[in-house]
Structure 1
Amino acid sequence: MRRVVVTGLGMVNSLGLNRRDSFKSIAEGQCGIKRITSFDTSGFPVQIAAEITNFDPNEVMNPKEVKKADRFIQLALKATQEAMQDSGLLNSEGKCDENIADRFGVSSGAGIGGLGNIEKNSITCFEKGPRRINPFFIPSALVNMLGGFTSIEFGIKGPNLASVTACAAGTHAIIEAGKTIMLNGADRMLVIGAESAICPVGIGGFAAMKALSDRNDDPQRASRPFDKNRDGFVMGEGAGALVLEDYESAKARGAKIYAELVGFGESGDANHITTPAPAGEGAARAMKAALSMAQVEVDYINAHGTSTAYNDLYETMAIKQVFGSNIPLISSTKGQIGHCLGAAGALEAVISIMAMEEGVLPPTINQEEKDPECDLDYIPNVAREKKANVVMSNSFGFGGTNGVVIFKKV
């Protein structure tokens, strides 16, 4: 099978509108979680999130087109524009050349899609009748429109795929892209993971199932992965993008190669719709599969680390089961940018690759009181300067769907 490398990176989240600003803030231990400003949270049990408050969709789309795309698509365009420019594959017109377009594909992922637009148009239908529904509603909300909009944006004509696997969607999008290139279905794949579900029904729904932290008066310390006093995740929004490419093609054109995708693993828990399999059994199988494929020693794990009681405990147990006495350094960046649901895997892959590039492993902030059952080195509170040649990124989603990717320096 062909080797797959990363030649472009982009991301947007509550700490930055590009990968450099975002990673710098993450490495500094900053937190993008605050009180929600996009809607009135009066009466909501949860009033905090990692919102992106300085993003203007008119900067990435023609203003006439903005109403045709839900916010998760708009954020995706921001991240993909950065990744595509970074890859060096765009011509002077901002498109990929015709001679590579047919062998250039898109693999996208989101957990929910256009939830905000679904909510708004449902209210419109109920209050004003079906004739008042926005005609762009359906195409604005579909997850695969991430690939639709971006393929049009850049003239990409290869395979156009979408993964809708809850919080593992971004990681599964990377895996699907990697498989496509390895099996010669394309030479290059643009990977996108995006989500924007910070809306009344999104916050209300997750709050109703008691999944969210309700530390409304202390938002900066609300998300606390692996800490003894963790009480739920904090919702985030954002997008991560990667350009994956056949190694020989990248080498031939003199592209900057950030990393090689050397391993991936997938599994299903077959246990419970929201709770991970006991002791992280499903997560462990995904990690083992990725390691079996990669045949490398991992230096750093970007954990799923949601700041929920069961996830953090079971992920810790799974890591112990898989790595034994040779456990890598671990951190979760969700304490800083929130849990971006289907975008999380793509964002965290970008963060992990940048950690390799910069020689700085991001911290797990808000680790104030050690949980005796979560007793590994999670790089508490302060980033660690350390060379890492191999990084692993974990993603686990509702429904018991698990995805793991491993990247290595070339």
Structure 2
Amino acid sequence: MSEEKKHIVIRGCGAISPLGFDAESMAGAYFAGKPAFTSILHQGQQTPVAALPAMAEEQLQQLLLSNPVYKQLDRSVMMAVFAARQAAQQAGWLHPITATDDDLAVNMGSSRGATGLFEQHFEAFQQENLSSAASPTTTLGNLSSWVAHAVNAGGGQISHSITCSTALMAIANGVAWLKAGMAKRFLAGGTEAPLTDFTIAQMKAVGIYSKFCDHPYPCQPYAQEKQNTFTLGEGAAVFALEQVQNPEKGTPIIEAVGLGFEKLVSKTGITAEGINFQKSMRQALEQLPEKDREVDLIITHTPGTRAGDKAELAAIQAVFGEKAPAITTNKWLIGHTLGASGALSLQYALHILQHQQYTFIPYPNLLDQSKPQSIKRVMVNAAGFGGNAASVILHVIG
């Protein structure tokens, strides 16, 4: 008898976003289908953003007050710690002990890292009042090391950025480490706190930021009207991963991970054909059983930019042809959370798989599709500056 296949299962998921601070609050927001955008004054101009709601902010502040050291850390680190503790708790890995768990590894990523804290320290530098905490608290390594402290993880610790594919690359690393036997348990995810003056200004400088500050839907992926509606949001999501033989029925698993890359042709690094997406999706599909490679739904990257949205849709058509699955996104609700976006899309995928529900986009859009009768397999896409892309396929054990 052949050995049963081992699966990478999702033991727990923690998240904090403009929609809420746990699975229950975020599920309610998805069911309601109400966008989470507000308008702020940025450089004298009203600008749409998606920030944490009051209840989520209160939860984050409670965590901040639980440890006096936390007050010196960046918001991106604190959201990562919040989501990681939630995921570890759900997985049954969070124990009130001082000894570290050397079998638990961590990979937290962010596109921009400690943006808010860096800007504060740079301002202090210009005033010749730079703190000794500037360097240790703005390094990208804060993400994994402080998460590891918070959950008593003593295994490998990775902090990285591969721009907006960051979170899915963390998942890829988790899968690889578990399969290689380099860890027995793995926390992987992404976090981003980009609602700062300089970060917003950078996105505006690229020429992609939404001007719909008074519109109920400032971020409009797949919009019929061809214009840029990129809108920044903040948040974090973390997943507790483990390799298991014969997982129980109803257990969500990471069935495949595909990566793609294309040579730079512009400052954002994507061709009209979405070659990077084509490569990542094909690589993921090839890892599925040869006679069962059907995908029921794709959660696209589509940040609401003319070039990016069009390229991804072209790539999906090239890969799937007439059998293209239904597609959706959560960015019209929470904006683009950069390095956390893939993780928050994965959290949305878990919601969809559990509730067999996703919210149809209400503004005029290019989608002409019906909801699948059942959703058993979901693909999540992400892509980032530099020409990279990643695709992760989630499935529930039947």
TM-score by length of 2: 0.91
Give the C-alpha shift of residue 386 in structure 1.
Answer: 4.7
Which whole-Å CA distance do the structure 1 matches of 2:325 and 2:165 have between them? 22
The change in CA–CA distance for 1:233 and 1:192 in structure 2 (over 3 A counts) is: same
2:280 equivalent to 1:283: no
Match of 1:48 in 2: 48
Question: Offset of 1:66 from its aligned partner?
Answer: 2.7
Asked whether the 8 Å contact 1:355–1:362 carries over to 2, the reply is: no
Confirm or deny: 8 A CA contact 2:272 2:314 kept in the other structure: no
- Residue 247 of structure 1 corresponds to 244
Per-residue deviation, 1:136: 2.4
What SS does the aligned partner of 1:83 have? Answer: helix
| Aligned position for 1:156 | 153
In the TM superposition, what is the alpha-carbon distance from 1:336 to its structure 2 partner?
A: 0.2
Q: Which digits, 9 at most, give the CA deviation of each residue in 1:73-100, with x for residues without a partner?
A: 1111221121111112222x1x5975xx
Shift of 1:376: 5.0
CA contact (8 A) 2:232 2:335 kept: yes
Is 2:386 aligned against 1:399? yes
**Cα deviation 1:154-194 (Å, max 9, x = unaligned):** 11011111230111101111111111101111111001210
Shift of 1:196: 0.3
Alignment length, in residue pairs?
384
Identity fraction in percent: 23
* Matching residue of 2:219: 223
Indicate the residue corresponding to 1:205 in structure 2. Answer: 202
Alpha-carbon distance between aligned partners in 2 of 1:120 and 1:53, rounded to the nearest angstrom: 23
TM-score by length of 1: 0.88
1:186 equivalent in alignment to 2:183: yes
Q: Per-residue deviation at 1:2? A: 4.4
1:42 CA drift (Å)? 4.5
- Of 253, 268, 277, the residue aligned with 2:261 is 268
Shift of 1:275: 4.1
Letter matched to residue 217 of structure 1: D
Shift of 1:334: 0.3
Question: Which residue number corresponds to residue 233 of structure 2?
Answer: 236
Distance 2:273 2:148 in 1: 41
* Equivalent of residue 79 in structure 1, options 72, 79, 83: 83
Cα distance, 1:376–1:137 mapped onto 2, change above 3 Å:
farther
CA distance in 2, matches of 1:199, 1:88: 35
1:29 corresponds to 2:25: no
Give the Cα–Cα distance (whole angstroms) in 2 for the partners of residues 72 and 48 of structure 1. Answer: 20
C-alpha change, 1:110 and 1:260, in structure 2 (3 Å) is same
> Which amino acid in the other structure matches residue 261 of structure 1?
I
Distance in 2 (CA, whole Å) between partners of 1:347 and 1:284 is 22
Amino acid at match of 1:266: L
User: 2:379, 2:392 within 8 Å by CA — same for their partners in 1?
Assistant: yes
User: What is the Cα-based RMSD across aligned positions, in Å?
Assistant: 2.1
State the secondary structure of the residue aligned to 2:155: coil
- Equivalent residue, structure 2, for 1:112: 112
Give CA deviations for 1:118-163 in whole Å, capped at 9, x if unaligned.
Answer: 111111111x21xx22332223222331110010111101111123
Deviations 1:292-334 (A, max 9, x none): 0123311111100111101111111100111111111110100
Report if the CA contact (8 A) 1:359-1:385 is conserved. no
Superimposed CA distance per residue, residues 8-56 of structure 1 (whole angstroms, 9 cap, x where no aligned partner) = 01111111111221122123211101113xxx52424x51100114214
Q: Secondary structure at the match of 1:3?
A: strand
Q: Which runs of 4+ in 1 moved over 3 A?
A: 95-98
Unpaired runs of at least 5, structure 2? none
1:121 maps to 121
Instruction: Please say if 1:177 is aligned against 2:174.
Output: yes
Secondary structure of 2:42 counterpart:
coil
Q: 2:329 aligns with which of 321, 328, 332?
A: 332
The one-letter code matched in structure 2 to 1:114 is A
